[in-house]
Structure 1
Amino acid sequence: MMRTTPKSTTVGRRDALKALGGLGTLLVWGCHPNGESSSTPPPDRVGKTMAGYVERGEVPGVVTLVSRRGEVRVDAFGHKAIGGKAPVQRDTIFRIASMSKPITAAAAMILVEEGKLRLDSPIDGLLPELANRRVLRRLDGPLDDTVPAKRAITVRDLLTFRMGFGLLMVPPEAYPIVKAANELKVSVGAPRPQETPAPDEWLRRLGTLPLMHQPGEKWMYHTGADVLGIAIARASGRSFGAFLEERIFQPLGMKDTGFAVPAATIDRLATSYSPNVTTGKLELFDEAAGGQWSRPPAFPSGGGGLASTADDMLAFGRMMLDGGTLGGTRVLRSESVQSMITDQLTPEQKASAIFAEGFFDSRGWGFGQSIITGRDELGRPVGTFGWDGGLGTSWYCNPKEDVIGILMTQRAWTSPNPPNVCRDFWRSVYASG
């Protein structure tokens, strides 16, 4: 595999620094804007490790960004498509899937601050489709064997994934509720924004199903974020995408983040691949031009629909680490940020969660993101917060050491457990610190 020519953005990237609010010194590997080479030092441990994955053909391309106490280093290796000639670069756009969730949570907290959403009030008035819920007696039981919900769903339930409905890692035919959700296209899987019903219809369909558990009882992944996106649109009187653009993306200079990639920048979108579960061979999941992110989606998914770049996610992370501000622009109150990055789950809720094995052994869950509660095997210290994207990305912020790490690939995960490229990225980040 061919890798890109090294470049330095310490000089010649003043505009980027200004747009990011002066985030610090920049050291970058990638293609120089004018095609010239530069004398940037060779890759560090992170770069060498990630270059190996590209050279072995395990990932087509990769962009990594590590911000350490204000000094930012970016490495870019490989190509945007298998067999293609266009190199992955610093500004390559990736589908960030579930890394959308922290952004959705931040949008909700803006409305909480304005009093348009209330954390512990029922959502029934705003989302009448989810009023008067019925709850399955048994998770594997028939859909008509239900009891009344003990209480209404709240915004806090949506933010913490305790609404009573979510991902079950079982085949569609395993339980009647999973089969029904798949048939109605309200279940979670790899994001397919053009194939999901529009928000009102999606919520109507969800409202025909019983909950899997009582509201507030158990942590269940994903669905709460998609419901939250609809709540944000209705509470704000704007489309979800327009609200994100006006209140988060524009203030933070996240110019390449959105639910669709415009025609003017579609050439920067990487092709997305998924490994064949039998052979491991990478198979096409979504192309760039003409793909599902090339036009506005039917359903702007708060749980997994955004595309973005490493620099845009750096801006969002810097805002979170700086208590809701970036370059003098305040997006959130510091109290809101603190709520987002505080573990919200009880030990009982962690113990009963059905997700990846051992998932909650050293972590909790805040608003829309994971919180490291005990130094994990990848070296991330207590207090680190962030989340991953199942289409091949990862983003975490470490407040204690002022570190932001971002991994962007176009190779999808095959389970909730991180693939080796993600695990080795984080090990390298903290081995290099």
Structure 2
Amino acid sequence: MAFREFPASQLSRRNLLRGSAYLAAGGVLAGMPLGSDLLRAHDVGAAWPNVAERIGHYVNGGKVPNMVASFGWGLDDPHTVARGTLKFGGATSAGIDSLYRIYSMTKPITGMATMMLLEDGKIGIDQPLAEILPAFAEMRVLKRADGPLDDTVPAERPITIRQLLTHTAGLGYDIVNKGPLLDAYRANGITSGQVSRLPIPGMPQVRSAPSLEAWADRLAALPLLLQPGTKWSYSASIDLLGRVIEAASGQDFAQFMQERMFDPCGMDSTYWQVPESEVGRLTDNYGILAGMPLPMDPAGNSIFLDRPPLAWGGSGLVSSPRDYDRFLKMLLGYGKIDGRRVMGETAVRIGTSNLLPETATMEGTWVAGQQFGAGGRVVGQTYGWGGAAGTLASVDFGSGLRAGLFVQYMPSESYPIRDEFLAALAKDLGVNERAFSLG
């Protein structure tokens, strides 16, 4: 049941974010016979001068208090280029074990957890969601995205697991919805996560549904934004997969993730709730207002110190660069890390390939021209995703490069950090290639 629906043509692997720069970087690195020696160098910042310069530009310029880039080559240990302190004016340096709110970088982790259940035969990739969660059996679809909730038509096809994995199920999102649908999401506590204990101008304080079960049931009672399987639209679908995992596995979602993903991967600094004992490693998060960084979620008063009402599979995790690199390293090992099998090779290969339904389009979206796997973008041979506070991470199966960028500011569009990081990464690899050819 788990994999029988996949044609052989879908076993190719691809991946990441704003695609072309990173894809070019991976291609260059693949041609570097001494790339692994470079990454083992003691002064990693010297090995990545353009990356180090961009990080220094933002940290030394007072735009962000810290930034950490992590790199891993093959299955070697990761190295970093790290600058700054956990908060402005702080004394603790940021590094590979600092804690960052990774927000939507939670999505690939949940996507791969879903692939585990596909491998276990508990669910099928094209299985209707209603067979697992019956409340989604007779969905309605808004005639207009901003129209009244009673102006709907029947869904033309059932929501499937494939659609949930690829944001093509037609579901809305509280960061995407408009009009009455947005009001209904907020009134029902169908939130996408948490940001701060502090009131934030322009961001209403919404009380979340009290559990994943309640959250999913309330979501099922509201109309869809689009017909299932027709178009890519960023959505609450990965959070809903958390409830699918609960129902299919018989375990609490957070417990499943701890036992099946975090513990086997050695991710001992990945949390839904940051323990008080670890507050000293937690970064501050900043809101950018007119180019000025202002404290949004200080570590000592962070909302991530509270027990969350539910585990958001699309946005809920705090993690360290080292821990996220271990997740990427497990993927690069096709399900194995440090000799331990975490998930099957076929599950990884399929989850990092293009899973988009043939009926769905990406035209007119901000991922147009790309592909999508299990909760992450797919470009070439890379797979990964970014987070709302400026983070991003990917694994390139062609070159063997694992890369991550960790920083804390919102909204992520305030600075072009991610695009500049990818461009600097490509430039450094080009410089290194020429240096080796001269040697």
**TM-score of the pair, normalised by structure 2:** 0.80
Q: Please list every run of 5 or more consecutive structure 2 residues that lacks an aligned counterpart in the other structure.
A: 1-37, 198-205, 430-439
DSSP 3-state at the match of 1:300: coil
Greater helix percent: which structure?
A: 2
What is the 5 A alignment of 1:55-94? 55-69=60-74, 70=76, 72-94=78-100
Query: What corresponds to 2:219 in structure 1?
Result: 206
Matched residue count = 383
What is the 5 A alignment of 1:30-109? 44-69=49-74, 70=76, 72-109=78-115
Query: What corresponds to 1:360 in structure 2?
Result: 368
* 2:58 maps to amino acid: Y
Shift of 1:78: 0.8
**2:63·2:292 contact (CA, 8 Å) conserved in 1?**
no
Query: What corresponds to 2:157 in structure 1?
Result: 151
CA distance, structure 1, for counterparts of residue 123 and residue 331 of structure 2: 21
Aligned with residue 336 of structure 2, among 325, 328, 341: 325
Residues 210, 224 of structure 1: CA spacing in aligned structure 2 closer, same or farther, 3 A cutoff? Answer: same
Query: What corresponds to 1:431 in structure 2?
Result: 427
CA distance, structure 1, for counterparts of residue 138 and residue 404 of structure 2: 41
* 2:348 maps to amino acid: V
Aligned with residue 336 of structure 1, among 347, 351, 357: 347
Residues 129, 218 of structure 1: CA spacing in aligned structure 2 closer, same or farther, 3 A cutoff? Answer: same
CA distance, structure 1, for counterparts of residue 308 and residue 356 of structure 2: 33
DSSP 3-state at the match of 2:190: coil
Q: Which moved more, 1:298-307 or 1:147-156?
A: 147-156
CA distance, structure 2, for counterparts of residue 49 and residue 406 of structure 1: 14
Query: What corresponds to 2:323 in structure 1?
Result: 312
Residues 28, 191 of structure 1: CA spacing in aligned structure 2 closer, same or farther, 3 A cutoff? Answer: farther
Q: Please list every run of 5 or more consecutive structure 1 residues that lacks an aligned counterpart in the other structure.
A: 1-23, 31-39, 373-381
Shift of 1:27: 5.3
Query: What corresponds to 1:376 in structure 2?
Result: none
**1:27·1:74 contact (CA, 8 Å) conserved in 2?**
no
Query: What corresponds to 1:403 in structure 2?
Result: 401
Shift of 1:137: 2.3
DSSP 3-state at the match of 2:384: strand
Corresponding position: 1:393 with 2:391: yes
Query: What corresponds to 1:15 in structure 2?
Result: none
DSSP 3-state at the match of 2:157: coil
CA distance, structure 2, for counterparts of residue 294 and residue 27 of structure 1: 37
**2:102·2:391 contact (CA, 8 Å) conserved in 1?**
yes
Aligned with residue 253 of structure 1, among 266, 270, 290: 266
Shift of 1:29: 6.9
CA distance, structure 1, for counterparts of residue 423 and residue 46 of structure 2: 21
Query: What corresponds to 2:418 in structure 1?
Result: 422
DSSP 3-state at the match of 1:259: coil
Q: How far does the alpha carbon of each residue in 1:233-270 deviate from its partner, in whole angstroms, 9 at most, with x for none? A: 22222221111111111111100012111122121010
Shift of 1:232: 0.8
CA distance, structure 2, for counterparts of residue 318 and residue 100 of structure 1: 16
CA distance, structure 2, for counterparts of residue 323 and residue 129 of structure 1: 35
Aligned with residue 226 of structure 1, among 221, 229, 239: 239
Q: Which moved more, 1:94-103 or 1:334-343?
A: 334-343
* 2:83 maps to amino acid: F
CA distance, structure 1, for counterparts of residue 192 and residue 147 of structure 2: 20
DSSP 3-state at the match of 1:48: helix
What is the percent sequence identity of the aligned residues?
A: 32
**1:325·1:332 contact (CA, 8 Å) conserved in 2?**
yes
CA distance, structure 2, for counterparts of residue 296 and residue 144 of structure 1: 36
**1:164·1:220 contact (CA, 8 Å) conserved in 2?**
yes
CA distance, structure 2, for counterparts of residue 118 and residue 103 of structure 1: 18
Query: What corresponds to 1:166 in structure 2?
Result: 172
Shift of 1:364: 1.3
CA distance, structure 2, for counterparts of residue 66 and residue 243 of structure 1: 28
Shift of 1:44: 3.1
Shift of 1:26: 5.1
Query: What corresponds to 1:175 in structure 2?
Result: 179
CA distance, structure 1, for counterparts of residue 113 and residue 338 of structure 2: 19
- RMSD over aligned CA atoms reads 2.6
**TM-score of the pair, normalised by structure 1:** 0.81
CA distance, structure 1, for counterparts of residue 266 and residue 193 of structure 2: 30
Which has the higher relative contact order, 1 or 2, with Cα contacts under 8 A spaced 6 or more apart? 2
